[in-house]
């Protein structure tokens, strides 16, 4: 094992597996087999929060690369954040499966449309999606917007398009959603949080 003193201490500090080498009588120069380096040591660590229940456990996400441009990161491991005062590094069986959620085979990758009466999805561009959806929304809003109620009170509402909002979205997305929806005059709004 080619290892100088400094490297040896580095391995030892990684934990039991390192120190047990010394216990077994290996010295830095005498050891023949190299200890596999800890994979996560080369990964980028990002602090995040488990999206499942409302304990909101802190998680550490490990990804390849250093987040520089043109080096897309791949998430290779997710574990509990030991600094978080609530979960203190633990995760439950739901949270322990987080990586499989990120990498689920059912992740959506591009915009699609299912035309009226069709039995299949068709891939479309974001441009086409935004354009077609905005046209639907405008047509419905223009046809059904109520400026005044039957008593002549100004009400400025649009009830015929509904919005159901996610409760797994961050506060900032929620805020932008409500700001936009109210500016459009929407009142048929509800959230997953109710149920």
Partner 1 sequence: MTNHWVDIKNADLIFVMGGNPAEAHPCGFKWAIEAKKNRKAKLVVVDPRFNRTASVADFYAPVRPGSDIAFLGGVINYLLTNDKIHHDYVKAYTNASFLINEGFTFDDGIFAGYNEEKRSYDKATWSYQMGADGFVKVDETLQDPRCAFQMLKAHYARYTPDVVQQVCGTPKEAFLKVCEYIAETAAPNKTMTNLYALGWTEHSVGSQNIRCMAIIQLLLGNMGMAGGGINALRGHANVQGITDFALYAQNLPGYLAAPTDAEPDLKTFLDKKTPKLLRPGQMNFGQNLSKWYVSLHKTWWGDAAHKDNGFAYDFMPKLSGASDVLSIFDQMYQGKINGFLCQGFNPLASVANKKKVGDALAKLKYMVVMDPLATDTSEFWKPHGEFNDVKPEEIKTEVFRLPATLFAETTGSFTNSGRVIQWRWKAADGPGDAKDDTEILANLFLKLKEMYAKDGGAYSEPIQKLTWAYRIPTKPSPEELMMEFNGKALADVLDPKDPTKVLVKAGEQLPSFAMLRDDGSTTCGNWIYCGVWSQAGNLSARRDNSDPSGLGQTLNWGFAWPVNRRILYNRASADLSGKPWDPKRTVLKWLGDKWGGNDIPDMRPDAAPDQNVMPFIMTGEGVGRLFSLGLMAEGPFPEHYEPFESPLDANPMHPKNPKARANPAARVYKGDMEAFGTAKDFPYVATTYRLTEHFHYWTKQSKINAIMQPEQFVEIGEELAKEKGIAVGDKVKIRSNRGFIKGVAVVTKRIKALDVDGKKVHTIGIPIHYGFKGATKPGFITNTLTPFVGDANTQTPEYKAFLVNIEKA
Least gap, CB of 51 to partner 1 (angstroms): 4
Q: Report the distance separating Cα 93 and Cα 50, nearest Å.
A: 12
Q: How far is the CB of 38 from partner 1 (least distance, A)?
A: 19
Nearer to partner 1, 42 or 136 (CB): 136
CB of 1 to partner 1, least distance (A): 35
Question: Which whole-number Å values give the CA distances from 143 to 97, 118, 129, 139, in the listed order?
Answer: 47, 26, 21, 6
The nearest distance, CB 41 to partner 1, in angstroms, is 17
Using the CB atoms, write b or e for 80-104: b if 16+ within 10 Å: bbeebeebeebbeeebeebeeeeee
Residue (21 or 78) nearer to partner 1, CB:
78
What does the alpha-carbon distance between residue 64 and residue 77 come to, in Å, rounded to a whole number? Answer: 10
C-beta closer to partner 1: residue 3 or 57? 57
Nearer to partner 1, 25 or 152 (CB): 152
- Give DSSP secondary structure letters for 179-195: HHHHHTTB--EEEGGG-
């Amino acid at each position: 094992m080619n290892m100088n003193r400094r490297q040896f201490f580095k391995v030892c500090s990684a934990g039991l597996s390192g120190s047990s080498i010394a216990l077994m009588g290996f010295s830095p120069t005498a050891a023949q087999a190299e200890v596999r380096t800890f994979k996560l040591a080369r990964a980028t660590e990002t602090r995040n929060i488990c999206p499942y229940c409302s304990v909101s456990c802190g998680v550490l996400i490990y990804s390849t690369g250093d987040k520089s441009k043109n080096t897309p990161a791949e998430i290779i491991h997710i574990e509990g954040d030991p600094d978080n005062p609530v979960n203190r590094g633990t995760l439950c069986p739901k949270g322990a499966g987080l990586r499989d959620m990120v990498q689920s085979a059912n992740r959506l990758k591009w915009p699609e449309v299912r035309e009226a009466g069709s039995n299949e999805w068709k891939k479309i561009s974001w441009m086409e999606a935004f354009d077609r959806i905005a046209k639907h929304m405008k047509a419905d809003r223009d046809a059904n917007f109520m400026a005044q109620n039957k008593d002549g009170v100004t009400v400025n509402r649009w009830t015929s398009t509904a919005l159901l909002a996610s409760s797994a979205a961050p506060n900032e997305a929620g805020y932008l959603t409500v700001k936009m929806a109210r500016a459009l005059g929407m009142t048929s709004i509800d959230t997953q949080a109710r149920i």
